[in-house]
Amino acid sequence: MKYTLQVTLTIFVGVLFFGLNGFAQKSSDIKYYPSSNFTMVGKIMDTDKPFHRIDTAKYSNIPEHIKTRLTRSAGLAISFKTNSKSIHAKWCTTSKYPSSGMTPIAFRGLDLYTKINGKWQFAGVGRPKSGENSSEGKLVANLNGEQREYLLYLPVYSETTSLEIGVENTAKITAGDQPFNKRILVYGSSIVQGAGASRPGMAYTSRMSRNTGFNFLNLGMSGVARMEKEVANMVADIEADVYLLDCIPNSSPKEITQRTGNLIKTIRSKNPNAPIILMQSVVREIGFVDEKTGEKVKMQNKNAYDEFMKLHQSGMKNIYFIFGNDFLGDDHEGTVDGTHPNDLGFDRMIKAITPQILPIINQ
Contact footprint for a copy of itself (CB under 8 A)? 97-105, 109, 114, 116, 121-125, 127-128, 130-131, 140-144, 196, 198-199, 202, 207, 285-286, 288-293, 332-333, 335-338, 342-347
56 versus 335: smaller Cβ distance to a copy of itself: 335
293 versus 356: smaller Cβ distance to a copy of itself: 293
Query: Is residue 165 within a helix (H) or strand (E), and if so which, with residue range?
Result: strand 160-168
Considering the complex, what minimum distance in angstroms separates the CB of residue 86 from a copy of itself? 9
Considering the complex, what minimum distance in angstroms separates the CB of residue 107 from a copy of itself? 9
Q: Residue 149 and residue 79: Cα distance in Å, rounded?
A: 7
Phi-psi sector, 56: left (phi>0), alpha (psi -120 to 50), beta: alpha
200 versus 275: smaller Cβ distance to a copy of itself: 200
212 versus 342: smaller Cβ distance to a copy of itself: 342
Considering the complex, what minimum distance in angstroms separates the CB of residue 238 from a copy of itself? 28
Q: What b/e sequence results for 289-322 when a residue is b if at least 16 CB atoms lie within 10 Å of its CB, and e otherwise?
A: eeeebbebbeebbebbbebbeebeeeeeeebbbb
Query: Is 91 in contact with 163 (CB distance < 8 Å)?
Result: yes
Residue 239: how many CB atoms within 10 A of its CB? 12
C-alpha distances in angstroms, 200 versus 113, 161, 230?
Answer: 11, 16, 28
166 versus 196: smaller Cβ distance to a copy of itself: 196
198 versus 318: smaller Cβ distance to a copy of itself: 198
State the number of CA atoms in the 13 A half-sphere of 8 facing the CB: 5
Angle between helices 229-237 and 253-270 (to 10 degrees): 30
Considering the complex, what minimum distance in angstroms separates the CB of residue 240 from a copy of itself? 26
Considering the complex, what minimum distance in angstroms separates the CB of residue 66 from a copy of itself? 21
Considering the complex, what minimum distance in angstroms separates the CB of residue 229 from a copy of itself? 26
